[in-house]
Amino acid sequence: MKVIIRDNGKEASLWVAHRIADAINAKAKVSDKPFVIGFCTGSTPLDTYAELIRMVKAGEVSFKNVISFNMDEYVGIPVDHPESYHSFMYHNLFDHIDEPKENIHILDGNAPDLAAECESYERKIVEAGGFDLFFGGIGEDGHIAFNEPFSSLQSRTRVVTLTEDTLRVNSRFFGNDMNKVPKQAMSVGVATVLSAKEVVILALGPKKARAIKESIEGPMSHMVTVSALQNHPDGIIVLDDDAAGELKVNSYRYFKAVEAAEAR
Ligand code: GLP
């Protein structure tokens, strides 16, 4: 696992945006096949998306041959609800880039048969050629997508019940009222994320520091589902200094030294 640490959230976010753009451009140079990417929501990816929008407008990258799959969506809230992940993605990214609408995939939390919707999502990912890169954030308890503690590390796309912790954390988007947060969501599984050729996780701020410590220095565990990245051949965790704040001094120095050596 590679860990990139930047002084602040802005720099960490820019690092991720440029990594995504470089990967899209690198594939476009050698192949006509679409670049398949996994996207996340939350406050964490906002600066990354803003930078990708800037790069598209500046002609530095194009999403015309990109197919995307979002990692999760709440069950049972209208697509046009301001807090649906559909709304989030269009507002913060898709409305401002050149990705064709038919290439955009977000789980339908109002599908009549949710299980069938999950199965068909997994099928569509395979049909698209599988993920080249999965970009994710993490919850305060180290969950990836909505793979809450005790999710199988072999899990695939399915309906999940949100933990009380997540309901509390996400209530900030629902007028601080936990009862307004949908109790269920649909989420790609841990194994779905890990099926990507490259996984880039961004974690910012002190509230993520404990989960980051556990996922990087602790054992791989279903308690902290992002720790499954330890088993991925090309996993990168990108942090600001605050999110790296609980790593051991030796781990911190090691990751900084590796980066400095590779930059030479
Ligand atoms: C939710 C989402 C996750 C996201 C997490 C962190 O739980 N399901 O995909 O990574 O929130 O959100 P934030 O970036 O706002 O801290």
Tens-digit pLDDT profile for residues 168-182? 999 999 999 999 999
Q: Tell me the per-residue pLDDT of 108-162, one tens digit each, with 9 for 90 and over.
A: 999 999 999 999 999 999 999 999 999 999 999 999 999 999 999 999 999 999 9
pLDDT of residue 87: 97
Q: Which two tokens stand for residue 64?
A: 């015309």
pLDDT of residue 17: 98
Among all chains, which residue has been given the structure tokens 């470089």?
22
pLDDT of residue 4: 98
Pocket-testing residue among 43, 44, 77, 204, ligand 1, by greatest number of atoms within 8 A of Cβ: 44
pLDDT at 33 over 90: yes
Q: Tell me the per-residue pLDDT of 215-252, one tens digit each, with 9 for 90 and over.
A: 999 999 999 999 999 999 999 999 999 999 999 999 99
pLDDT of residue 234: 98
C-alpha distances out from residue 11 to 14, 109, 150, 226, Å: 5, 34, 33, 22
Neighbours of 116 (CB within 10 A): 10
Nearest CA to ligand 1 atom 2: 145
Nearest CA to ligand 1 atom 6: 139
* Side chain identity, residue 104: I
133 bridge partner residues: 37, 198
pLDDT of residue 263: 84
The pLDDT confidence band at residue 264, using thresholds 50, 70 and 90, is: confident
Active site residue 96: no
% the chain with pLDDT above 70: 100
Give residues (CB < 6 A) around ligand 1: 40-44, 71-72, 137-139, 145-146, 166
pLDDT at 255 over 90: yes
Name, in order, each residue with C-beta under 8 angstroms of 21's C-beta and a sequence gap of 6 or more: 52, 55, 60, 61
Among all chains, which residue has been given the structure tokens 């930078």?
51
Gap from CA of 40 to ligand 1 centroid (Å): 8
Nearest CA to ligand 1 atom 12: 42
pLDDT of residue 124: 98
